[in-house]
Amino acid sequence: MQHSAASSTCLKFLTRILPPLLIATLIFMAAFGYVMLRETRSEIDRNVAMFADSLIPVIDDLLWNFQQEELSSALATLSSNPAMRRAEIFDSNNELFVAYGDPPDRDARAVEAPILHPLTDGTARRLGRLVVHYDYSKAETTLMAHFIGQVIRLLIIIMVMLVSGYFAYQRVIGRPLGLLLNGIRETNSEGKPGMVQWDGNDEIGEIIHAHNRMVKHLSDKESALAESEQRYRQLFDNAMIGIFETSKEGNIRNANATVADILAYPSVDALLEVDLERHYVDPKDRLKLWEILLTKGRVTNYRVQLRRADDVVIWAELSGKLNPDGSFNATLEDVTAQRAARQAVVERDELHRAFFEENNAVMLLHDPMDLTIQFVNPAACLFYGYSEAELTSMTIRDLNSMDDAEIFEELKHAADEKRGYFKQVHTLKSGTRRDVEVFTGPVSIGRRQLHYSIVHDVTEKRRMEARLKRMATRDQLTGTYNRHAFFEKGKKEIARAQRYGHPLSLLMLDLDKFKNVNDAHGHSVGDEVLRVFALRCRAGLRETDIFARLGGEEFAALLVETDEETAVAVAERMRRTAADEPIVTEAGEMAVTISIGMAALQDKEGMAILLQRADKGLYEAKAAGRNRVRKN
């Protein structure tokens, strides 16, 4: 069977390809023979003409000297070309002088050339003419024999190729094709997949591999279908929701165990052929159900009260589809507990709404994706001065006065400090800015994820905190840093300078003979002198420098990123300013001078050692006569 199918295919191929192939071959050989014949004749014509041209000089001399015997010998050379039959020499009177060869046939061709003898005066004398007769017969005979031989060889080659092609076809196509056909017949006749064993990787091999993949795919599909049917049966039997089918009369024809449990039957068999109508608490519910089915063909989540076999009333939901034969496929679910839970949710939502709307705290609900405000309580409207419609048309960013950089920085601080709230500044409708603390957390409303924020106005609290912070870090008289703050900030700057290898210098300043001002003019004038002096010093320093009053008339300045030479220049400038610009007080102008000790930070030196060296420089400046700068 396999060999017959493959042979049949091969014969069909040969019967379709062989006739046009032979015809094309014959046409090609005929055209080739015609071209070769034309070329052969042209070659003979050229050879005869060349023979005549080469013979003319020899005949010219021989004929001039009347050497007739030598002329015959010269003409005899035409026998070297089988196409030439006869050569003739005619004299100037056009009479035959010498001839060689057989008389030409009627179809013979001829080439004629004049015989000219050059004279001494440069002219030529016509001695006669040479005529060479020739034909194509022998050349055509030879060419025909050669052509027939070529045709025979070509036909032999074609036959060899056809036979080789047939055997190659049988090996490459016929055999795998036969195996494939057998595999297909085996699949159809026996009803089971028939795999084909073939290792080729050519096109036929790909077809066979595709067949094997298809057969395996079908086999896998059948296995999967059987498994699916088994799983469906298991799902049907073990489903937590009731699944059943009723006839058009309303009797249950098929159901799973869950339906029996919901209706309080001991088994599925006890449930079969039961009319569901008896289980409706209100028969109108059944009529309404069938009205929906007859109108729409299906029903979804139809809620109804049913009476179980043990007379317990439950709430159930029916969903299903009406079949063309009038049967009804449906699911049944006991939603008694869900209904009670939903009622509890409704009551809880009402409680939450009352809590949200009646609370005196400012409350906002906004979408975290686009920051739009979704809900606000009356307290929020009262605080911001906007109506509910105005607030719900705004975003959280519209209320927040902070820019993106400030918001990001606050988020970072809140994370670092592990705070549960954010410090922000909100703008009211009146334009007033208020400091607020925002407590924000996620909340789900239905399927929506929102952010729930409680906003506390802490403006007064912030002001009090700022005031207390200033009191804790600032000198109350001069407004400069106090001793404690100076040491705290100084330690940080020293650590930073040593970490990165940056220069840092410390100035210790003391007002010369300040006790005389207090004794002569009173403490109020002395306080005024200290305040003005501190202001002038702060004005002459950079914002990054730290200036503080350590006590009495003693001050200190920590110059960051400042080497010793620069620090001395700064100290001299401060000394000259104090000496050259008297301070105006209620008691008149007060001329004050200052003594300054300077120390530049050294490796591994702490705040105490640096301060001690600067203080030593201050002592040396006073000992040297005051109103001067000394470094240590």
Residue numbers annotated as active site: 553
User: CA of 421: how far to CAs of 172, 360, 569, in Å?
Assistant: 81, 19, 48
Q: How many CB atoms lie within 10 A of CB 499?
A: 8
> What is the C-alpha separation between 291 and 367, in angstroms, rounded?
43
> What is the C-alpha separation between 374 and 360, in angstroms, rounded?
19
Decide if 429 contacts 384 (C-beta within 8 A): yes
Cα 112 from chain centroid (whole Å): 89
State whether the Cα torsion 272-277-281-287 is positive or negative: positive
Assign 64 to helix, strand or coil.
helix
Assign 129 to helix, strand or coil.
strand
Decide if 609 contacts 506 (C-beta within 8 A): no
Burial class of residue 283 (count of CB atoms within 10 Å of its CB; 0-12, 13-18, 19+): exposed
Decide if 423 contacts 417 (C-beta within 8 A): no
Cα 599 from chain centroid (whole Å): 61
CA atoms within 13 A on the CB side of 212: 13
Assign 117 to helix, strand or coil.
strand
> What is the C-alpha separation between 292 and 328, in angstroms, rounded?
12
